[in-house]
Amino acid sequence: MSCVAKKLILKCFCCVPREEEPKISREYPWEIYTLKQILNATNNFHSDNKIGEGGFGSVYRGRTSTGTEIAVKRLKAMSAKAEMEFAVEVEILGRVRHKNLLSLRGFYAGGDERLIVYDYMPNHSLIAHLHGQLADDCLLDWHRRMNIVIGSAEGLAYLHHEANPHIIHRDIKASNVLLDTEFQAKVADFGFAKLIPEGVTHLTTRVKGTLGYLAPEYAMWGKVSESCDVYSFGILLLEIIGAKKPLEKLPGGVRVDIVKWVNPFVEKGAFDHVADPRLKGRYDRAQLKTAIMVAMRCTDRNPENRPTMMKVVEWLNGGLGRTEEVEDEVEEDAEIDYNEMEYDDGTDYDGYDGKIQRERHHRK
């Protein structure tokens, strides 16, 4: 665990008197909550307040004594791995501030409880709009979709290019893009994120993240760099355009990945076939083409051919305002057969290859 993370947790254990008002840290713009405050806010983690559940634990909606709406993530079981995820999330979110990244409001760590407090996002996650309960009731129109795409790209570009040290998210997916009152994208969940030391081009790590979004070089060899996030972003972009899951399960149990599904349409120039049929053709065709071509570049199997997130933002801003054409070159390479892979459909894809256990830093 890094020094900052240790410091955060130690502060919680030793310095916070239980029933006081939250302390605003001078060093960091978040608060250290007391357990009582969070219990009051969430009605003792009442089941009616539960919003969702993920790999880390359950998420509850709450309201503080000052009337602020919050979301509280509660670690489900203490383990070294879970504690590390908690520390990474708090440490990384504590250092980043961007309009398209979910802000950390604070946390609590004491006894067996690990709680992370965020701003509450009233429009839930993108997954609910694309494939979940909200998909039919509240159709995301094209304009909103493209705003979400640009916002998520800007959040990622900030992590890759502006944050110091640079940050690789490693778990970009629809459930980790939350939507605020105005449907602006907030990229969330930094529990798997990696800080990239100056001068390091890539790391070799255990594979984490979610199947369907993993870049081939990462899924197969644990090789992680910013371009793994670019790949996941490309998958997310196709998912937003078409409302198809990254790995769609066909009736016979065969899984088809979204890139393979889109490819023939791109080759024929039949871009309309990729768009979500629920949009009923209500989209700008030039924007549709730009968005699909950007996604194809991002999901190039060769990481060296993928654009940077800065370039992606430039293309999207240009293409959605139609000033710049995306260069059209997609390279063929080795393929992963998802039907041959052993995996758990859950979110943590840790230890996919038993041989990849230690991290190595690769210098330029």
Name the minimum Å distance from CB 130 to ligand ATP: 12
> Which residues would be at the binding site for Mg ion (CB under 5 A)?
54, 175-176, 189
Q: Which residue has the tokens 């972009």?
A: 237
Residue closest to 245 by CA, chosen among 132, 139, 352, 156: 132
Name the minimum Å distance from CB 151 to ligand ATP: 15
Q: Cis omega before residue 165 (within 30°)?
A: yes
Q: Which of ligand ATP, Mg ion, none interacts with 124 (beta carbon under 5 to 8 A by kind)?
A: ligand ATP
On whether the CB atoms of residues 125 and 174 are closer than 8 A, the answer is yes
Closest to ligand ATP by CB, 137 vs 198, is 137
What is the distance between the alpha carbons of residues 284 and 141, in angstroms, rounded to a whole number? 11
What is the distance between the alpha carbons of residues 283 and 281, in angstroms, rounded to a whole number? 6
Q: Check residue 54 for interaction with ligand ATP (CB under 6 A).
A: yes
CB burial class (10 A; 0-12, 13-18, 19+) of residue 143? middle
Closest to ligand ATP by CB, 39 vs 102, is 102
Return the residues of window 258-297 that contact ligand ATP according to CB under 6 A.
none
Compute CA 186 distance to the chain's CA centroid, rounded to the nearest angstrom: 9
171 is catalytic: yes
Q: Check residue 347 for interaction with ligand ATP (CB under 6 A).
A: yes
Q: Check residue 89 for interaction with ligand ATP (CB under 6 A).
A: no
Interface residue with ligand ATP, options 5, 104, 156, 178 (CB under 6 A): 178
Name the minimum Å distance from CB 270 to ligand ATP: 33
Annotated binding site for ATP: 73
On whether the CB atoms of residues 11 and 33 are closer than 8 A, the answer is no
What is the distance between the alpha carbons of residues 67 and 98, in angstroms, rounded to a whole number? 24
Q: Which two tokens stand for residue 286?
A: 């030039």
Q: Which of Mg ion, ligand ATP, none interacts with 51 (beta carbon under 5 to 8 A by kind)?
A: ligand ATP
What is the distance between the alpha carbons of residues 175 and 125, in angstroms, rounded to a whole number? 5
* Choice among 48, 171, 180, 257 that is catalytic: 171
Q: Check residue 71 for interaction with ligand ATP (CB under 6 A).
A: yes
Compute CA 360 distance to the chain's CA centroid, rounded to the nearest angstrom: 24
Return the residues of window 108-167 that contact ligand ATP according to CB under 6 A.
118, 120-121, 124-125, 127-128
- Residues forming the active site: 171
Q: Which residues bind ligand ATP (CB under 6 A)?
A: 51-56, 59, 71, 73, 102, 118, 120-121, 124-125, 127-128, 175-176, 178, 188-189, 347
